[in-house]
Amino acid sequence: MTVRPDEFPPPRKILVRATNWVGDAILSLPALRAMRQRFPAAEIVLLAKPYVSDLYQQEAVANRGIIYNPKKEHRGPGGFCKLIAELRREQFDTAVLLQNAFHAAWIAYLARIPARIGYATEGRAPLLTHPVEVPPPVHYGHQSYYYMQLLYRAGLAERPTPIERIRLAIQPAEKNWAVKYIKNTGLAGPRFLIGVSPGAAYGPAKRWLADRFAQLADRLIEALHADVLIFGSKAERPLAETMAQAMRHMPVILAGETSLRQWMALLSQCRVVITNDSGAMHVAAGVGVPVVAIFGSTDLSATGPISPRARVVQHAVDCSPCGYHICPIDFRCMNGVAVEDVYRVALTLVKECRVTHEPRFED
């Protein structure tokens, strides 16, 4: 269904069920900003998992957040009932479900929120008061427009306009912390920092080979007199160590060492970042750093980085994009991406962006 914007009653208090992945959370920011602009007087509350909630701290898209932690305080039937009771006390009049899961609609339904808006996926349409049919890809294309189309088709936002980039806010104090942190790793003085994120939470089908990341990092160190910082989650620490062990030069491994916002601040200090199609790619693009993204099994037109300072390297094969978590054949899409390919694109991007300055303190 589609509701005209002038037919939707102005909500007083909106619960937004945020997405569960950092990359998706970033891509949903234009939709959240559009809803904030349309309903400036409404109280908007974000329900988010712990590992993405910090992303919204400096974004003016919501009044506050509620952390949904099914591994701790909301664990098991008792914890889930605790969450539902908390949401009922809030007396929301509208729920907007950016997450597509059945569980998101079930939460909104049990919380007795009168207006429940979301895509009619995962068999959850009966739980929604405003089920929105998923538009064909030709109508939204990139994933960021997917969220915008939900709001537009539900009457919560105006017609989507082109998105040239998604900016992430980082405060001067956070950047200053990052400069001090880098200095404490032994990288004091003027430095040309290169960030490398070899992981991808979606699965190994999205990960370029660790030894090729290592070869690339060594070549960039030698060509740019650079220092390399290896980023990733705690679960990706072994991958970061595997990459480091394959290098001739000594990198700094930061995988699993920082919070999300600290990671964002550290990425902002890099002069160029090399990633797979991952949350790190969207974070780097969002903080305005030149980023080179390596694509394999996923669709560039749907999840590519939104930034004029981003470049993508991929090897065209008939079976890509397949969307698989694990390649069922010979990983030809990633095996076909040579170190030389990424190296040349990175050097060209550095030259185009005139990336010559080192991290600095801000007032």
Percentage of residues of the chain with pLDDT beyond 90: 75
* Count of C-beta atoms within a 10 Å radius of residue 332: 14
The per-residue pLDDT for 54 is: 92
| pLDDT one digit per residue (tens) for the chain, 363 residues | 455 444 557 899 999 999 999 999 999 999 999 999 999 999 999 999 998 999 998 899 999 999 999 989 999 999 999 999 999 999 999 999 999 999 999 999 999 999 999 999 999 999 999 999 998 876 667 889 999 999 999 988 888 887 888 999 999 999 999 999 999 999 987 889 999 999 988 778 888 999 999 999 999 999 999 999 999 999 999 999 999 999 999 999 999 999 999 999 999 999 999 999 999 999 999 999 999 999 988 888 888 999 999 999 998 888 888 778 888 888 888 889 999 999 999 999 999 987 544 444 454
- How confident is the model at residue 140, as a pLDDT? 67
| Phi, psi (degrees; rounded to nearest 5) at 197 | -125, 95
Tokens of 305: 């980085």
In 3-state terms, what secondary structure has residue 174? helix
Partner residues linked to 14 by β-bridges: 44, 94
Q: Which homologous superfamily does the CATH classification assign to the domain defined by 172-353?
A: Glycogen Phosphorylase B; (3.40.50.2000)
User: CB within 8 A of 276, min separation 6: which ones?
Assistant: 197, 198, 199, 200, 206, 207, 208, 293, 294, 295, 296
pTM of the complete model beyond 0.75: yes
- Assigned token pair, 321: 């994009």
Return the closest-CA partner of residue 4 out of 109, 102, 130, 110.
130
Q: Where along the chain do the CATH 3.40.50.2000 domains lie?
A: 5-153, 172-353
| pLDDT attached to residue 363 | 43
- List, in sequence order, every residue forming a beta bridge with 66; answer none if it has no partner: 47
DSSP 213-255: HHHHHHHHHHHHT-EEEE---GGGHHHHHHHHHT-SS--EE-T
- Would you state the structure tokens that stand for residue 339, as one six-digit string? 């170190």
Q: Exposed, middle or buried: residue 269 (CB in 10 Å: 0-12, 13-18, 19+)?
A: buried
The H helix count followed by the E strand count for the chain is: 15, 12
Tens-place pLDDT, residues 282-306:
999 999 999 999 998 888 888 899 9
**Secondary structure element (H or E) that encloses residue 17, with its range:** strand 13-17
Angle (CA) 238-239-244 rounded to 5° is 95
Contact by Cβ (8 Å): 115, 39? no
Q: What is the SS3 assignment for 45?
A: strand
Give the full edge-to-edge strand order of the sheet including 272-276.
252-253, 227-230, 193-197, 272-276, 291-295, 310-314
Amino acid at 268: S
- DSSP designation for 361: -
- How does 200-239 read in b/e, with b if 16+ C-beta sit within 10 Å? bbbebbbbbbbebbbbbbbbbbeebebbbbbbbbeebbeb
CA distances from 10 to 29, 112, 117, 338 (A): 21, 18, 14, 53
5-153 is classed in which CATH architecture? 3-Layer(aba) Sandwich (3.40)
Asked if 333 and 292 count as a contact pair (C-beta separation under 8 A), the reply is no
Cα→Cα distances 307→26, 282, 289, Å:
12, 9, 9
pLDDT at 55: 92
Q: Are 256 and 232 in contact (CB under 8 A)?
A: yes
Q: What is the pLDDT of residues 61-98, one digit of tens each?
A: 999 999 999 989 999 999 999 999 999 999 999 999 99
